[in-house]
Homo-oligomer: A and B are copies of this chain.
């Protein structure tokens, strides 16, 4: 019997092996991109033969698709948590902090996503224009409410969200460059705390000198 992506009934071995494959595929896809990765690479990283891997996922695309589906859920969780209750500036600050923590703790997921978008999002375009746009529009409305109430400065909520995504994910997607530029002294583990401090100041106060 072969295991389709929509077959819900799975044995213990199937669950374990599928997890093993997805973990290996995340590693391989995120560093080589979809077309740059081979089934052999993933199979080797998962410690099994290629036909064995293809017994659990019939096609290379199925692995990638499963990975992307899981990714989007966890990836958008921080934005979903952005809520109307609580102080607006505090809410935004903790959203930025959470996104930065995700860049630190799940850089492979970030790179996998970046790879997909960079190449025109051929496989998740409907999700972007659908689920993602809906969520962002909804949160933009919340932010707009804060602006109208005078709780935060008036600007464009959509571009505000973009800038938070860009600045935080930068530390995952461009990690190699960040570490190279910071050098051996400052490029160590402390770089995320430095980034958190900087981003907090940037988003709250900007660059104008006080007074």
Which positions in A face B, CB cutoff 8 Å?
31-36, 89, 92, 111, 114-115, 117-121, 125, 128-129, 132-133, 136, 150-153, 155-156, 158-160, 162-163, 165-167, 169-171, 173-174, 176-178, 180-183, 186, 194-195, 197-199, 201-210
**A92 and B207 contact, CB distance less than 8 A:** yes
Main secondary structure of the interface of A (DSSP, over half): helix
Given the complex, which residues of B lie within 8 Å of A181, measured CB to CB?
Answer: 128, 132-133, 136, 158, 162
Given the complex, which residues of B lie within 8 Å of A163, measured CB to CB?
Answer: 167, 170, 198-199, 202
In Å, the complex CA distance between A158 and B177 comes to: 12
Q: Taking A33-B35, A34-B36, A195-B159 as contacts, is the C-beta distance between A209 and B167 under 8 angstroms? A: no
Minimum Cβ distance to chain B for residue A174 (Å): 5
**A160 and B198 contact, CB distance less than 8 A:** yes
Minimum Cβ distance to chain B for residue A34 (Å): 7
In Å, the complex CA distance between A62 and B208 comes to: 46
In Å, the complex CA distance between A160 and B206 comes to: 10
Q: Which of B115, B121, B150, B155 contacts A177 (CB 8 A)?
A: B121
How many protomers of this protein does the assembly include? 2
In Å, the complex CA distance between A158 and B35 comes to: 34
What are 11 A-to-B residue pairs whose CB atoms are below 8 Å? A36-B36, A89-B207, A111-B118, A114-B173, A129-B180, A155-B201, A155-B207, A159-B194, A159-B195, A163-B202, A205-B206
**B120 and A159 contact, CB distance less than 8 A:** no
**A207 and B204 contact, CB distance less than 8 A:** yes
Among residues of B, the one whose C-beta sits closest to the C-beta of A114 is: B118
Given the complex, which residues of B lie within 8 Å of A35, measured CB to CB?
Answer: 32-33, 35-36
**B158 and A182 contact, CB distance less than 8 A:** yes
Minimum Cβ distance to chain B for residue A107 (Å): 11
Given the complex, which residues of B lie within 8 Å of A199, measured CB to CB?
Answer: 159, 163
